[in-house]
Structure 1
Amino acid sequence: MLATIPRHFLWRWALVPALCLMVLLVATKSSRADEGAAEAPTAESELPQEPGFFDVWGKKIEATHESIERYILEKSVKVDDFFGSENAPGEKPTRYQLRWRNSLRIEHDGTVKFGPSVRLNLALSKINDRFRLIIAGEDEPEPATQSLPRDPGSPGFDRTTPNTHFVNTELRYDLVRTPALKFFLGAGVQVKLPFEAFARSRLDYLHTFNDTTIVRFGETVFVKNSDLLGETTEITLEKLLDRGTILRWSNAGTASQEIRGLEWGSELSLIRELSARSAVTVTGGAYGNTSSSTIGNNYRLFALYRQNFLRSWLFYELEPELFWHRTDRNPDAPTFAFTFRLEIVFKGSSLGRPAL
């Protein structure tokens, strides 16, 4: 039977367990090292030892990461100083956070796809503490099915349908910022030809029913290229089952002049915190459009394991998923895919930093 399967199919699928095993072994080694560090030192440990290969390279990687963080902070401070006031009230610092993700996706037919994504959040406190500059770029493997919008009203993030391979910038101004209510105005442009400008307003409201149950409501109104109006409504209900376990029901619907009907999606997730550094999420979702004769056009079942390992700024994710499409007549056969992600976080603040 194996002789009938293409060779490229076999080695690509063999890559999945190999990657998983390698990452888990590294994470286990890191966990054991942390436990060993907490134990009382022995006589042998007091003897000087030559640094190993991984120790040397670990220090080099750490130094490189710190150097990149300082470089990004210097550029961020220069931008804030150039547009801001020298006598900004409150002496609030310039802050930033950058997330760089790399995804490796293996499809059911053995196809391997790779792509990065970057998201920078820059607080321009010297201009105004309520201003934020968001720069996002994504070239991740195109998802095979729908998912809930990650950032409604922002091109590339605003639809339940797959919409990837973009770079956009946005300037936000927070009008209201409280623990229960947030409201901001934003405007930006998607960097592509022809350019796509957009503006939006977003309202987020959090209501607490009791100590274990909350509901989140989000409303986004957006306009693209001055003539394409739209809005997205989001409702999320969360229930704390026990310490470290959350049941979440998320729903979203988008109506716009550029799409027919109402695009909607609904996901039910069980989130479990395994430790201070790891968590797992199991999610089932249904997605569709009111213009279709079927209730749901696409279905998705996936699990996401996220682990912080080796360094506080380094994460990996394992995501197996099963999805299928339903037509007016018969549903398609379920399709499987597996995604491995590596995420590096850079962040910095000018608070306590020496002047340039």
Structure 2
Amino acid sequence: MVPLTAQANDAQDNESELAVPQPVPIHEPQWFDQWHMNFEDAMNNTARSIDNFFALSGDSSHEDATASGRVRLGWEPRSRDFAEMDLRFRIRVRLPALKNRVDLLLTDDEDDLQENSVKATRNDQLGRRDQATLALRFRHSPDAKLSHRIGAGRRDQVFVKSRYRDSHDFNAEMGIFYDAEIYYYSRDQLGGELGLSYQHLLSEHSLARLNNRYYYRDNTNDWRWRHEAQYLSQVSDTSAYIYTLFVEGLSRPNMHTEQVFLSARWRTNPTREWLYYEVEPFVLWLKEEDFKPSFGVALRLEVFYGKI
């Protein structure tokens, strides 16, 4: 588990937040270790084949192409929906033949800034539920703040998207993260998002975070907003607790709340650096359910592969 002092610097990296594999005690190889190595080799071989398509004659840089990502399987039963299952995946293929300026992304959700949400909280209208997305991401350099995507997703729509993401540290304990993006979908038309997060490192092993996000949709001419508070506490080298409270709503026909969510998530990887377990009891209030509390628990297994 990554120390929270390091997480504070990477908190808005969607592939590192409370998830970067770290060294853990060495164990004798088991069958699932062999499976993980074989799976990682297969993904890297696929990455090299894809990169070779773009390579010039005599260019061997495609041999360095790699794939990375994660697969997460969860069962999230709650009152009034006991059978809720959630399968999340994300694959990123680095393409050295294109000077690492282009990545191939395959994911179940293009909204990668909210990928840790319980499935029942992900809004259908924004395409956050079971929507495979395939895209090419273009960046001037691997650490560029501005990136562009073109691909297909959100109910089989073609889209283009530009995103700017940056951060600013006030001091060693306080910082902000902000991003803005604009996109166009073939049916949903023009849309945009704004995000601002404030993060305060309370100690070497705990931090507080306030997240605010706004989504504009041209086809409905309204704003969806989300305000979230989190407290993260690392209790050991392999375990952490994440407490979350968020409220989400719409601006039309008037400013109103659509849902309220409260949870306590325990995340641990005690046996393997690439294998995580999560238990997240939660309470969810939905407008469509007359804000009657729905109690549930999310049980998840998450596997990482490749160099994150």
Q: Same fold (TM over 0.5)?
A: yes
Name the CA distance, whole Å, in 2 between partners of 1:110 and 1:325. 13
Shift of 1:276: 2.2
CA drift at 1:190: 2.0
Whether contact under 8 Å (1:84, 1:128) holds in the other structure is no
Cα distance in 1 for residues equivalent to 2:75 and 2:188: 37
Structure 2 partner of 1:187: 150
Q: Which of 131, 135, 138 does residue 173 from structure 1 map onto?
A: 138
Is the contact between residue 122 and residue 129 of structure 2 (CA under 8 Å) also seen in structure 1?
no
Aligned to 1:121: 92
Q: How far apart are 1:110 and its partner, in Å?
A: 6.6
**Shift, 1:298, TM fit:** 1.5
Distance apart, 1:96 and its partner CA: 1.6
Note if 1:334 corresponds to 2:297. Answer: no
Instruction: Write the distance in 2 (CA, Å) between the matches of 1:248 and 1:191.
Output: 29
- 1:145 match: 121
Q: Give the Cα–Cα distance (whole angstroms) in 2 for the partners of residues 316 and 278 of structure 1.
A: 10
Distance in 2, matches of 1:174 and 1:218, equals 15
Distance 1:141 1:276, change over 3 A: closer
Aligned to 2:259: 298
SS of 1:164's partner is coil
Query: Could you say what secondary structure the match of 1:144 adopts?
Result: helix
TM-fit CA distance, 1:101: 0.8
Tell me the secondary structure at the aligned position of residue 306 of structure 2. Answer: strand
Which residue of structure 1 lines up, in the alignment, with residue 271 of structure 2?
A: 310
> 1:272 and 2:236 equivalent?
no
Structure 1 CA distance, aligned partners of 2:80 and 2:205?
A: 37
Give the counterpart letter for 1:135 in structure 2: L
Pairwise mapping of residues 4-15 of structure 1 onto structure 2 (< 5 A)? none
From 170, 190, 194, the equivalent of 1:209 is 170
Give a deviation string over 1:48-71, Cα, whole Å, max 9, x none.
Answer: xxxxxx97xx62221122112111
TM-score by length of 1: 0.70
- The CA deviation string for residues 243-291 of structure 1, in whole angstroms up to 9 with x for no partner, is 1211100000011112342100000000111222221110111111111
CA distance in 2, matches of 1:75, 1:92: 11
Aligned residue number for residue 82 of structure 1: 53
CA distance in 2, matches of 1:202, 1:239: 25
Q: Does 2:73 align with 1:102? A: yes
Q: 1:255 and 1:73, CA in 2 relative to 1: closer, same or farther beyond 3 A?
A: same
> 1:146 Cα deviation (Å)?
4.9
CA distance in 2, matches of 1:177, 1:115: 31
Bigger relative contact order (CA 8 A; separation at least 6): 2
Does structure 1 conserve the Cα–Cα contact (< 8 Å) formed by 2:79 and 2:295? yes
> 1:305 and 1:142 mapped to 2: Cα distance?
14
Normalised TM-score (structure 2): 0.80
Aligned length: 279
Partner of 2:223: 262
Task: State the 1:78 CA deviation.
Answer: 1.4
- Does the 8 Å contact 2:225/2:248 carry over to 1? yes
The aligned residue for residue 71 of structure 1 is 42
Matches within 5 A, 1:28-67: 59-67=30-38
Tell me the SS of whatever aligns to 2:96. Answer: coil
Report the CA distance between 1:144 and its aligned residue: 2.8
**Code of the aligned partner of 1:125:** P
Contact 2:139 2:146 in 1 (8 A): yes
Does the Cα contact within 8 Å between 2:52 and 2:62 map onto a contact in 1? no
What is the alpha-carbon root mean square deviation over aligned residues? 3.1
Partner of 1:11: none
Max radius of gyration: which structure?
1
CA deviation after TM superposition for structure 1 residue 220, in Å:
0.5
Retained in 1: the 8 A contact 2:103–2:136?
Answer: yes
Structure 1 unaligned segments of length 5 or more: list them: 1-32, 38-53, 148-155, 350-356
What one-letter code is carried by the residue in structure 1 that aligns with 2:199?
Answer: E
**Amino acid across the alignment from 2:69:** L
CA distance in structure 2 between the aligned counterparts of 1:219 and 1:229, rounded to whole angstroms? 14
Q: 1:144 to 1:68 in 2, by over 3 A?
A: closer
| Alpha-carbon shift at residue 333 of structure 1 (Å) | 2.5
